[in-house]
Amino acid sequence: MKLKFQENIDKIKNCPSQNEKGEMNLFRCVESEISEKSFVPQAVLLKPKYQDMCIAWGISVFNSFDSANQMLKNLSKNKRNNYSKIARGIINDSHGIKHGGNNKKHYTFFPTEEFNILENFEVVNRND
């Protein structure tokens, strides 16, 4: 399975180091109009600051709407103007690697090259 940014990920030892198996609902803070721009990893946005940090090549996601919403509330006012919605994706093993860290509410998702963000994530409300 080839991941997006594989050539950069390969430069980091043991990256990513683990993969949560199975299908998961994962949530992410996104712009009001969902686009690829809402899913750019930190290593790309903040070159070269995070080039050597494994999780910076993945996408920060959460295991519940409430966890993503809490992150949204913690963003600066300026960032909240840009990232004002929450999107949900139903992610399975063929979509990429779901790396869980110490915080069991947060994951880093490393999508495969073929994974289409716009087809697999949609903006949701609390009731969805």
CB 99 within 8 A of CB 20: yes
Our count of domains for the chain comes to 1
pLDDT at res. 127: 61
Residue 10 lies in a domain: yes
**DSSP state letters, 90-101:** EE-GGGEEEEE-
The whole domain housing 30 covers 6-114
Q: What is the mean pLDDT of each run of 10 residues along the chain (128 residues)?
A: 95 91 95 90 91 95 94 85 90 95 88 96 82
pLDDT given at position 80:
77
Residue 21 lies in a domain: yes
Do the domain assignments include residue 45? yes
